[in-house]
Amino acid sequence: MQSLDRVVRRGATVAHQIHLPFAGLRRIGFGLAMGQLGMIAAAPGVGKSALALQVALSSGLRTLYVSADTDAWTMSVRTLAHNTGHPQSYINQCLEGGYALEELDVALWEARHVQFSFDSYTTREIHSDVQAYGTVHGSFPELIVVDNLMNCARGGEDDLSSQTKAMDELHALAQQTGAHVLVLHHATGSYDDGDRQIPLSGLANKLSKLPAQVLTLYRKDPHVFMCVVKHRQGKADPSGGLQVRLRFDGDRQTYLDQE
């Protein structure tokens, strides 16, 4: 137990929000709160994983990225493409050809704050990963990415019960560790084309209660639109009307400001 004055005095020395690297979001004061649960939701293929990876790489924060949806080789290529600015096809040629490029070594060194887990498929295994991370590094990660909820919510009688239980456990994990836990999730079937704005009610299984911040994404090439549909600490529009327009360079796995 502790009084609020102690909380405030202690908290004045630490960051309480992860600012995403986009001018539009900074302008409206959107960030991911530490010790809370956040969500990015979109149709398959719109770019949820690329956005989460860019947030992790650009933040510089100690990060545990649980990649139950994407294999280690693909994430390595995406990370190198993002950090070097080279297309993924070039990165693949370098790696498969055995080219020992110093530039790739530097790019991997710059990504060393992000640790990946590719074999955790339940929230219990994610908890074990976090505990192991704390043992190895002496502190918990500051950012935990779960990519994605469908792959890590198992054991219930149906999708709704298993995903609701997983969200509750991930919310508790954020509170216990002080990290921001960022969960990637799908939209409902009616938004599966990925080409129109997704409201808060468009999350698959309506899992909007626990997250403190929710972004939804949709694409109208060459742009991707981020919709701030929930933000407990600031502006939001549950209908999806509060939007930031970005350009997505898929070859380099990078989102760029496009005002």
Structural contact between residues 235 and 255, judged by C-beta atoms closer than 8 angstroms: no
- The pair of three-digit structure tokens given for residue 253, joined into one six-digit string: 């796995």
Domains defined for the chain, CATH in brackets: 13-228+239-257 (3.40.50.300)
33-69 pLDDT per residue, tens: 999 999 999 999 999 999 999 999 999 999 999 999 9
> Three-class SS string for 76-89?
HHHHHHHHHCCCHH
Q: Are the C-beta atoms of 86 and 96 separated by less than 8 Å? A: no
Give the three-state DSSP class for 183: strand
Pairing assessment for the beta strands 213-220 and 37-42 based on DSSP bridges:
parallel
CA distance 138 to 86: 35
Q: And the tokens for 83?
A: 């950090």
Residues 173-228: pLDDT tens digits?
Answer: 999 999 999 999 999 988 999 999 999 999 999 999 999 999 999 999 889 999 99
Instruction: State pLDDT tens for residues 136-182.
Output: 999 999 999 999 999 998 766 688 999 999 999 999 999 999 999 99
Question: Residue 148 belongs to what H/E stretch?
Answer: none
| Nearest C-alpha neighbor of 52 from the set 23, 81, 89, 20 | 20
Task: Give CA–CA dist 169/167, Å, rounded.
Answer: 5
